[in-house]
Amino acid sequence: MAKLMVNLTCPSCGGALKVDEWDSFIICPFCGTASTTGSFEKEKTLQCQLRVSQKDAEERVKKWFSEGSLVHKKASDLEKTGKITETNLIYLPFWRMIGQGRAIVCGYNKVQSDNKTTIDYKESDVSTVCEWNGIACNADEIGVQEIEVPEGEVKAVDEEEVVVFDTSESVHDGIERAVCGIRDIVYNKAASGISNITFAKSFVSPRSFSKILYPFWIVRYSYQNCGYFAVIDGYTNDICSGRAPGDINRQISFGSLGSILTGVIGGILVYSFLEIVPQLETSSGEIVMLAVIVLLIIGMIIGGISYQTFRHGSEIIEGKLPGVNK
Protein backbone atom coordinates (compact mmCIF):
# COMPACT_ATOMS: atom_id res chain seq x y z
CA MET A 1 0.00 0.00 0.00
CA ALA A 2 1.36 3.44 -0.95
CA LYS A 3 2.09 5.78 1.92
CA LEU A 4 0.18 9.03 2.19
CA MET A 5 2.45 12.06 2.60
CA VAL A 6 1.10 15.04 4.52
CA ASN A 7 2.44 18.56 4.01
CA LEU A 8 2.80 20.54 7.24
CA THR A 9 4.53 23.72 8.33
CA CYS A 10 7.04 23.98 11.15
CA PRO A 11 5.47 26.02 13.99
CA SER A 12 8.85 27.58 14.79
CA CYS A 13 10.52 28.59 11.51
CA GLY A 14 7.71 28.07 9.00
CA GLY A 15 9.66 25.54 6.95
CA ALA A 16 7.80 22.98 4.84
CA LEU A 17 7.57 19.51 6.39
CA LYS A 18 6.66 16.32 4.56
CA VAL A 19 5.32 13.78 7.01
CA ASP A 20 4.19 10.19 6.56
CA GLU A 21 0.60 9.64 7.70
CA TRP A 22 1.74 7.21 10.42
CA ASP A 23 4.43 9.45 11.89
CA SER A 24 3.53 10.50 15.43
CA PHE A 25 6.31 13.07 15.86
CA ILE A 26 8.69 14.91 13.56
CA ILE A 27 11.90 16.95 13.72
CA CYS A 28 12.19 20.04 11.52
CA PRO A 29 15.26 19.65 9.25
CA PHE A 30 15.73 23.43 9.15
CA CYS A 31 15.63 24.51 12.80
CA GLY A 32 15.49 21.21 14.70
CA THR A 33 12.17 21.92 16.46
CA ALA A 34 10.32 18.81 17.64
CA SER A 35 6.58 18.56 16.91
CA THR A 36 3.88 15.97 17.53
CA THR A 37 0.91 15.15 15.32
CA GLY A 38 -1.39 14.37 18.25
CA SER A 39 -1.49 10.60 17.94
CA PHE A 40 1.76 10.41 19.88
CA GLU A 41 0.00 11.41 23.11
CA LYS A 42 -1.69 7.99 23.11
CA GLU A 43 1.53 5.96 23.07
CA LYS A 44 1.72 3.14 25.63
CA THR A 45 3.65 3.44 28.86
CA LEU A 46 6.23 0.73 29.55
CA GLN A 47 7.21 -0.73 32.92
CA CYS A 48 10.54 -2.29 33.86
CA GLN A 49 10.31 -5.58 35.72
CA LEU A 50 10.89 -5.56 39.49
CA ARG A 51 13.50 -8.19 40.37
CA VAL A 52 14.59 -7.08 43.85
CA SER A 53 12.40 -8.00 46.83
CA GLN A 54 11.96 -5.80 49.88
CA LYS A 55 14.11 -8.17 51.94
CA ASP A 56 16.93 -8.07 49.38
CA ALA A 57 16.81 -4.27 49.29
CA GLU A 58 17.05 -4.02 53.08
CA GLU A 59 19.95 -6.50 53.15
CA ARG A 60 21.74 -4.43 50.52
CA VAL A 61 21.39 -1.31 52.68
CA LYS A 62 22.77 -3.14 55.72
CA LYS A 63 25.78 -4.17 53.66
CA TRP A 64 26.16 -0.57 52.49
CA PHE A 65 26.46 0.53 56.14
CA SER A 66 29.97 -0.96 56.27
CA GLU A 67 31.11 0.30 52.86
CA GLY A 68 33.15 3.47 52.35
CA SER A 69 36.32 5.05 51.03
CA LEU A 70 39.37 6.68 52.58
CA VAL A 71 37.65 10.07 52.69
CA HIS A 72 34.00 9.02 52.98
CA LYS A 73 33.91 6.65 55.95
CA LYS A 74 30.60 5.94 57.66
CA ALA A 75 30.12 5.78 61.43
CA SER A 76 31.93 2.74 62.83
CA ASP A 77 28.88 1.51 64.77
CA LEU A 78 26.31 2.18 62.03
CA GLU A 79 26.11 -1.48 61.05
CA LYS A 80 25.25 -2.44 64.65
CA THR A 81 23.04 0.44 65.77
CA GLY A 82 21.41 1.62 62.53
CA LYS A 83 17.75 0.51 62.36
CA ILE A 84 15.62 0.35 59.22
CA THR A 85 12.30 2.08 59.94
CA GLU A 86 10.49 2.12 56.60
CA THR A 87 10.79 0.61 53.12
CA ASN A 88 8.66 1.77 50.17
CA LEU A 89 8.53 0.78 46.51
CA ILE A 90 8.07 3.57 43.96
CA TYR A 91 8.27 3.86 40.19
CA LEU A 92 9.89 6.88 38.56
CA PRO A 93 8.96 7.91 34.99
CA PHE A 94 11.75 8.25 32.42
CA TRP A 95 11.56 9.43 28.81
CA ARG A 96 13.31 7.13 26.37
CA MET A 97 14.14 7.83 22.73
CA ILE A 98 15.83 5.62 20.17
CA GLY A 99 16.87 7.41 17.01
CA GLN A 100 19.34 7.70 14.18
CA GLY A 101 21.84 10.42 14.97
CA ARG A 102 24.35 11.98 12.61
CA ALA A 103 26.97 14.66 13.22
CA ILE A 104 29.42 16.32 10.83
CA VAL A 105 32.33 18.15 12.42
CA CYS A 106 35.20 19.96 10.71
CA GLY A 107 38.21 21.55 12.34
CA TYR A 108 41.94 21.29 12.86
CA ASN A 109 44.65 20.38 15.34
CA LYS A 110 47.88 22.28 15.88
CA VAL A 111 50.91 19.99 15.88
CA GLN A 112 54.28 21.10 17.30
CA SER A 113 57.30 19.52 15.62
CA ASP A 114 60.92 20.74 15.42
CA ASN A 115 59.96 24.18 16.75
CA LYS A 116 57.39 24.47 13.97
CA THR A 117 53.61 24.54 14.16
CA THR A 118 51.70 22.67 11.48
CA ILE A 119 47.95 22.57 10.95
CA ASP A 120 46.33 19.14 10.64
CA TYR A 121 42.84 19.55 9.20
CA LYS A 122 40.19 17.10 10.36
CA GLU A 123 36.75 16.06 9.15
CA SER A 124 34.50 13.62 10.99
CA ASP A 125 31.13 12.22 9.91
CA VAL A 126 29.44 9.96 12.48
CA SER A 127 26.10 8.24 11.87
CA THR A 128 24.79 5.77 14.43
CA VAL A 129 21.68 4.58 16.25
CA CYS A 130 21.55 6.15 19.71
CA GLU A 131 19.50 5.55 22.83
CA TRP A 132 18.80 8.33 25.31
CA ASN A 133 16.79 8.40 28.51
CA GLY A 134 16.20 10.97 31.23
CA ILE A 135 13.97 11.38 34.24
CA ALA A 136 10.54 12.87 33.51
CA CYS A 137 9.65 14.12 36.99
CA ASN A 138 11.03 16.34 39.72
CA ALA A 139 12.75 13.82 42.00
CA ASP A 140 16.02 15.56 42.85
CA GLU A 141 15.91 14.27 46.42
CA ILE A 142 16.25 10.72 45.07
CA GLY A 143 19.37 11.54 43.08
CA VAL A 144 18.65 9.53 39.90
CA GLN A 145 18.74 11.25 36.50
CA GLU A 146 19.05 8.35 34.06
CA ILE A 147 18.86 4.57 33.95
CA GLU A 148 20.08 1.60 31.95
CA VAL A 149 17.04 0.02 30.32
CA PRO A 150 17.39 -3.80 30.30
CA GLU A 151 16.41 -5.29 26.96
CA GLY A 152 13.46 -7.66 27.10
CA GLU A 153 12.56 -6.65 30.65
CA VAL A 154 9.93 -3.99 29.88
CA LYS A 155 6.24 -4.47 29.19
CA ALA A 156 3.19 -2.35 28.46
CA VAL A 157 1.32 -1.23 31.57
CA ASP A 158 -1.56 0.97 32.65
CA GLU A 159 0.04 3.87 34.51
CA GLU A 160 -2.95 4.13 36.86
CA GLU A 161 -2.17 0.69 38.27
CA VAL A 162 1.34 1.65 39.44
CA VAL A 163 2.50 3.89 42.31
CA VAL A 164 4.47 6.40 40.27
CA PHE A 165 5.71 9.98 40.55
CA ASP A 166 3.71 12.41 38.43
CA THR A 167 5.38 13.48 35.20
CA SER A 168 6.43 17.12 35.54
CA GLU A 169 6.93 17.98 31.86
CA SER A 170 4.92 17.57 28.67
CA VAL A 171 5.54 14.96 26.01
CA HIS A 172 6.65 17.74 23.66
CA ASP A 173 9.27 18.97 26.13
CA GLY A 174 10.43 15.40 26.67
CA ILE A 175 10.89 14.89 22.93
CA GLU A 176 12.92 18.08 22.58
CA ARG A 177 15.13 17.10 25.52
CA ALA A 178 15.64 13.64 24.03
CA VAL A 179 16.57 15.07 20.63
CA CYS A 180 19.11 17.39 22.27
CA GLY A 181 20.50 14.41 24.18
CA ILE A 182 21.03 12.36 21.02
CA ARG A 183 22.54 15.38 19.29
CA ASP A 184 25.05 15.68 22.12
CA ILE A 185 25.90 11.96 21.91
CA VAL A 186 26.73 11.97 18.19
CA TYR A 187 28.39 15.39 18.36
CA ASN A 188 30.75 14.28 21.14
CA LYS A 189 31.67 11.18 19.13
CA ALA A 190 32.33 13.21 15.98
CA ALA A 191 34.22 15.99 17.77
CA SER A 192 36.48 13.60 19.67
CA GLY A 193 40.10 14.23 18.70
CA ILE A 194 39.47 17.65 17.12
CA SER A 195 40.84 20.51 19.22
CA ASN A 196 39.65 23.48 17.16
CA ILE A 197 36.19 23.12 15.60
CA THR A 198 35.25 25.38 12.68
CA PHE A 199 31.99 23.75 11.57
CA ALA A 200 29.51 21.40 13.22
CA LYS A 201 26.06 20.17 12.23
CA SER A 202 23.98 17.40 13.75
CA PHE A 203 20.77 15.65 12.72
CA VAL A 204 18.33 13.36 14.53
CA SER A 205 15.75 11.02 13.02
CA PRO A 206 13.65 9.57 15.90
CA ARG A 207 12.53 5.96 15.65
CA SER A 208 10.66 5.53 18.93
CA PHE A 209 9.80 7.52 22.02
CA SER A 210 8.23 6.14 25.17
CA LYS A 211 7.78 6.58 28.89
CA ILE A 212 9.36 3.89 31.06
CA LEU A 213 8.39 3.34 34.70
CA TYR A 214 11.45 2.13 36.60
CA PRO A 215 11.32 0.60 40.12
CA PHE A 216 13.22 1.88 43.15
CA TRP A 217 13.17 0.96 46.82
CA ILE A 218 13.33 3.88 49.28
CA VAL A 219 14.80 2.53 52.53
CA ARG A 220 14.68 4.85 55.54
CA TYR A 221 16.67 4.17 58.71
CA SER A 222 17.59 5.85 61.98
CA TYR A 223 20.91 6.35 63.78
CA GLN A 224 21.21 8.13 67.13
CA ASN A 225 17.71 9.62 66.76
CA CYS A 226 18.49 11.04 63.29
CA GLY A 227 16.81 9.94 60.07
CA TYR A 228 18.66 8.87 56.91
CA PHE A 229 17.77 7.06 53.69
CA ALA A 230 19.11 5.00 50.79
CA VAL A 231 17.70 4.47 47.29
CA ILE A 232 18.01 0.97 45.81
CA ASP A 233 17.67 0.09 42.12
CA GLY A 234 14.71 -2.29 41.93
CA TYR A 235 16.22 -4.20 39.01
CA THR A 236 19.96 -4.42 39.78
CA ASN A 237 19.92 -4.03 43.60
CA ASP A 238 22.60 -1.32 43.37
CA ILE A 239 22.79 1.71 45.66
CA CYS A 240 21.68 4.74 43.63
CA SER A 241 21.94 7.41 46.31
CA GLY A 242 21.70 7.90 50.04
CA ARG A 243 22.74 9.72 53.17
CA ALA A 244 24.64 8.19 56.08
CA PRO A 245 26.30 9.45 59.29
CA GLY A 246 30.05 9.93 59.16
CA ASP A 247 32.64 8.87 61.70
CA ILE A 248 32.99 11.94 63.95
CA ASN A 249 36.11 10.70 65.77
CA ARG A 250 37.82 10.00 62.46
CA GLN A 251 36.78 13.42 61.18
CA ILE A 252 38.37 15.22 64.14
CA SER A 253 41.51 13.06 64.00
CA PHE A 254 42.06 13.69 60.30
CA GLY A 255 41.49 17.41 60.74
CA SER A 256 44.06 17.63 63.53
CA LEU A 257 46.57 15.36 61.79
CA GLY A 258 46.26 17.26 58.54
CA SER A 259 46.82 20.60 60.25
CA ILE A 260 49.90 19.34 62.10
CA LEU A 261 51.53 17.66 59.09
CA THR A 262 50.76 20.55 56.77
CA GLY A 263 52.28 22.99 59.26
CA VAL A 264 55.42 20.87 59.71
CA ILE A 265 55.96 20.44 55.97
CA GLY A 266 55.32 24.15 55.42
CA GLY A 267 57.97 25.00 58.02
CA ILE A 268 60.48 22.66 56.37
CA LEU A 269 59.83 24.28 52.99
CA VAL A 270 60.34 27.80 54.31
CA TYR A 271 63.54 26.82 56.15
CA SER A 272 64.89 25.03 53.06
CA PHE A 273 64.37 28.02 50.78
CA LEU A 274 65.76 30.58 53.21
CA GLU A 275 68.66 28.74 54.85
CA ILE A 276 69.77 25.56 53.05
CA VAL A 277 69.32 26.08 49.30
CA PRO A 278 71.30 29.38 49.03
CA GLN A 279 74.34 27.72 50.67
CA LEU A 280 74.52 24.70 48.37
CA GLU A 281 76.27 24.26 45.05
CA THR A 282 74.15 24.14 41.91
CA SER A 283 73.97 20.34 41.59
CA SER A 284 73.31 19.82 45.29
CA GLY A 285 70.79 22.63 45.28
CA GLU A 286 68.85 20.94 42.49
CA ILE A 287 68.65 17.71 44.52
CA VAL A 288 67.40 19.59 47.57
CA MET A 289 64.90 21.49 45.41
CA LEU A 290 63.60 18.17 44.06
CA ALA A 291 63.19 16.86 47.60
CA VAL A 292 61.40 20.06 48.59
CA ILE A 293 59.00 19.72 45.65
CA VAL A 294 58.26 16.11 46.61
CA LEU A 295 57.54 17.22 50.18
CA LEU A 296 55.28 19.95 48.85
CA ILE A 297 53.28 17.46 46.77
CA ILE A 298 52.98 15.07 49.73
CA GLY A 299 51.84 17.95 51.92
CA MET A 300 49.18 18.99 49.39
CA ILE A 301 47.87 15.41 49.14
CA ILE A 302 47.72 14.99 52.92
CA GLY A 303 46.14 18.41 53.32
CA GLY A 304 43.54 17.69 50.63
CA ILE A 305 42.53 14.34 52.12
CA SER A 306 42.39 15.80 55.61
CA TYR A 307 40.33 18.78 54.46
CA GLN A 308 37.82 16.65 52.55
CA THR A 309 37.50 14.26 55.50
CA PHE A 310 37.07 17.11 57.98
CA ARG A 311 34.60 19.01 55.79
CA HIS A 312 32.38 16.12 54.63
CA GLY A 313 33.00 13.62 57.41
CA SER A 314 29.90 14.48 59.47
CA GLU A 315 27.57 13.10 56.79
CA ILE A 316 28.34 10.76 53.91
CA ILE A 317 26.37 11.48 50.74
CA GLU A 318 26.17 9.07 47.83
CA GLY A 319 24.71 9.86 44.42
CA LYS A 320 23.72 13.13 42.76
CA LEU A 321 21.68 14.74 45.50
CA PRO A 322 20.78 18.48 45.52
CA GLY A 323 23.16 20.85 47.29
CA VAL A 324 26.11 18.46 47.03
CA ASN A 325 29.39 19.60 45.52
CA LYS A 326 31.71 16.74 44.67
Quick: pLDDT tens for 251-299. Answer: 555 556 666 666 666 676 666 666 655 655 555 556 666 776 776 677 6
| pLDDT tens track for 225-264 | 889 999 999 999 999 999 888 766 555 555 566 666 666 6
The single-letter DSSP state of residue 246 is B
pTM for the predicted model, two decimal places: 0.70
Instruction: Count the alpha carbons within 13 Å of 258 in the hemisphere toward its beta carbon.
Output: 19
Query: Does the structure show a pLDDT above 90 at 141?
Result: no
Element (H, E) at 217: strand 196-223
C-alpha to C-alpha distances, 275 to 102, 267, 270, nearest whole angstrom = 63, 12, 8
- The end-to-end CA distance of the chain, in Å, is 57
> How many Å is the Cα radius of gyration of the chain?
28
What is the average per-residue pLDDT within 185-209?
92
Cβ-contact 240, 144 below 8 angstroms: yes
Cβ-contact 190, 126 below 8 angstroms: yes
Residue 82's region, left for phi above 0, alpha for psi from -120 to 50, else beta, is beta
Among 37-51, 166-180, 305-319, name the one with the lowest average pLDDT. Answer: 305-319
Query: Does the structure show a pLDDT above 80 at 143?
Result: yes
Most trustworthy range by pLDDT among 1-10, 148-157, 248-257: 148-157
Query: Does the structure show a pLDDT above 70 at 159?
Result: yes
Instruction: Tell me the pLDDT band of 164, cut-offs 50, 70 and 90.
Output: confident
> CA-CA distance, 236 to 51, in Å (whole number)?
7
> CA-CA distance, 275 to 271, in Å (whole number)?
6
